[in-house]
């Protein structure tokens, strides 16, 4: 597609609920990244895929967070048993190669109540 597409745009979850956030990167972009951005802060790295391989998941804050990209295109970030501190904007970005700048999607704003 023309850009990075993320869905849903907004998600309200009750504490303890599981959520799944979807990212559809730019066609042909091999690198895909997930970031978490709290209000007034810069994006914080969560995880990185090169095609279907998850090369770095060091930024995932706990084992409640899980990401996958099984066919090397669409990716899903799953958060189990959501907690209030998970409330943030989750940004997906893709890049044609490493060391290139990213193109970000519009993000998913998650609010846990």
Partner 1 sequence: QKEVEQNSGPLSVPEGAIASLNCTYSDRGSQSFFWYRQYSGKSPELIMSIYSNGDKEDGRFTAQLNKASQYVSLLIRDSQPSDSATYLCAVNIDYGGSQGNLIFGKGTKLSVKP
Q: By CB under 8 A, name the one of 24, 25, 29, 31 that touches partner 1.
A: 31
- Based on CB atoms, which residue is closest to partner 1, 44 or 68? 44
User: How many CB atoms neighbour CB 38 within 10 A?
Assistant: 12
Is residue 77 within 8 Å of 67, Cβ to Cβ?
yes
Task: Compute the residue count for the chain.
Answer: 113
Q: Is 103 in the site for partner 1 (CB under 8 A)?
A: yes
User: d(Cα 19, Cα 29) in Å, to the nearest integer?
Assistant: 25
Q: Is 8 in the site for partner 1 (CB under 8 A)?
A: no
**Is residue 8 reached through a cis peptide bond, with omega within 30 degrees of 0 on the bond before it?**
yes
Residues 49-68 interacting with partner 1 (rule: CB under 8 A): 50, 55-56, 58
Q: Is 22 in the site for partner 1 (CB under 8 A)?
A: no
Question: What are the residues binding partner 1 (CB under 8 A)?
Answer: 31, 33, 35, 40-45, 48, 50, 55-56, 58, 91, 95, 98-107
């Amino acid at each position: 597609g023309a850009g990075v597409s993320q869905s849903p745009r907004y998600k309200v979850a009750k504490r303890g609920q599981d959520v799944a956030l979807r990212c559809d990167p730019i066609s042909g972009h091999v690198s895909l990244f997930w970031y978490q951005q709290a209000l007034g802060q810069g994006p914080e790295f969560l995880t990185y895929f090169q095609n279907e391989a998850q090369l770095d998941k060091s930024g995932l804050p706990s084992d409640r967070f899980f990401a996958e990209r099984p066919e090397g295109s669409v990716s899903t970030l799953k958060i189990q048993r959501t907690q209030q501190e998970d409330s943030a904007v989750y940004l997906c970005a893709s890049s044609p190669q490493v060391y290139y700048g990213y193109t970000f999607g519009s993000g998913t704003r998650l609010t846990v109540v």
